[in-house]
Amino acid sequence: MDPRFNGIVWTGSHLLDVRDPNPDLIKTRDIARGLSRKNRFGGHTRDDLPAYPITWHSLFCEAVADQMGLPLWVRFQALLHDAPEYILSDIITPVKALLAGYHPLESGLWRAIAQRFQLPAEFHPAIHEIDALALEAERFFLVTPNAWHPKPEIPAEWAVMAQRWFEFALSRQGSKPQFSAGLFVSRVRALEEAMADGGNDAEI
């Protein structure tokens, strides 16, 4: 292997060893910047829509967790669940499954992120449910229902919220691509402050 490519990456503000990431070097703005420049579905959303970066996916997941009435720390996990992709990129799942070395890197980076934000490294069971709901909604609204088998289905109780979310996100993404990065930073800071203040459900 070329010795220059030894797992040390530039995050936007620091060098980070992805094999042994230092939580102190993980910065909110780096995560937001990286995720806002990496698109869902490898960029292969509908041609008539602007790109849909991971920041919007993450913000939607946190909004769903909020609507579910989940504790603050679970909402924080929902917001950050794809944060390792700010370094590792959003490798689409069918390809990720073929990469034997990817999961250890992703898991190690997530543990460092969880430590940095004082969250449990083990995801709350609802995170997987929320991520699956977001995926179905994105497949339906951003790709095309006819391109997948089986056809994506959104639970009726979430369909209206999802539609309004995508209308808002796509309208802002087209006019100001960095808007979602700023919103992501704001949500991280709001959740950090709420947990530090011992919000009514902040206990882990």
* Within-domain flag for 121: yes
For residue 129, the enclosing domain spans 8-196
Q: Taking Cα atoms as reference points, which of 187, 184, 132, 190 lies closest to residue 162?
A: 132
The pLDDT of residue 90? 84
As a whole number, the mean pLDDT across the chain is: 91
Considering 1-5, 100-104, 112-116, 196-200, the range whose residues carry the highest mean pLDDT is 112-116
Q: What pLDDT, on the 0 to 100 scale, is given for residue 85? A: 96
pLDDT of residue 201: 58
Q: Is residue 45 part of a domain?
A: yes
Which of these ranges, 5-14, 19-28, 67-76, has the smallest mean pLDDT?
A: 5-14
CA 63 to CA 69: how far, in whole Å?
10
Percent of the chain whose pLDDT exceeds 70: 92
- Report cis status (omega within 30 of 0) of the bond before 150: yes
Torsions phi, psi of 8, nearest 5? Answer: -90, 120
Residue 204 forms part of a structural domain = no
94 band by pLDDT with thresholds 50, 70 and 90:
confident
Cβ pair 54, 184 in contact under 8 A: no
Residue 178 resides in a domain: yes
State the pLDDT at residue 198: 83
53 bridge partner residues:
39
| Domain total in the chain | 1
Give residue for tokens 């700023």: 182
Mean pLDDT across 31-58: 93
Residue 146 lies in a domain: yes
Mean pLDDT across 1-19: 84
Taking only the tens place, the pLDDT of each residue in 101-148 is 888 999 999 999 999 999 999 999 999 999 999 999 999 999 987 777
Q: Which of 33, 21, 7 is nearest to 109 (CA)?
A: 21
Q: Which residues pair with 39 in a beta bridge?
A: 53
The DSSP element (H or E) to which 10 belongs, if any, is strand 8-10
**Would you state the structure tokens that stand for residue 164, as one six-digit string?**
């309004």
Most confident of 28-32, 87-91, 142-146: 28-32
32-36, 96-100, 161-165: range with lowest mean pLDDT: 96-100
Structure-block tokens of residue 74: 């679970």
| Global model pTM greater than 0.85 | yes
| CATH code at position 73 | 1.10.3210.10
In the chain, what percentage of residues exceed pLDDT 90?
70
Q: How confident is the model at residue 173 (pLDDT cuts 50, 70, 90)?
A: confident
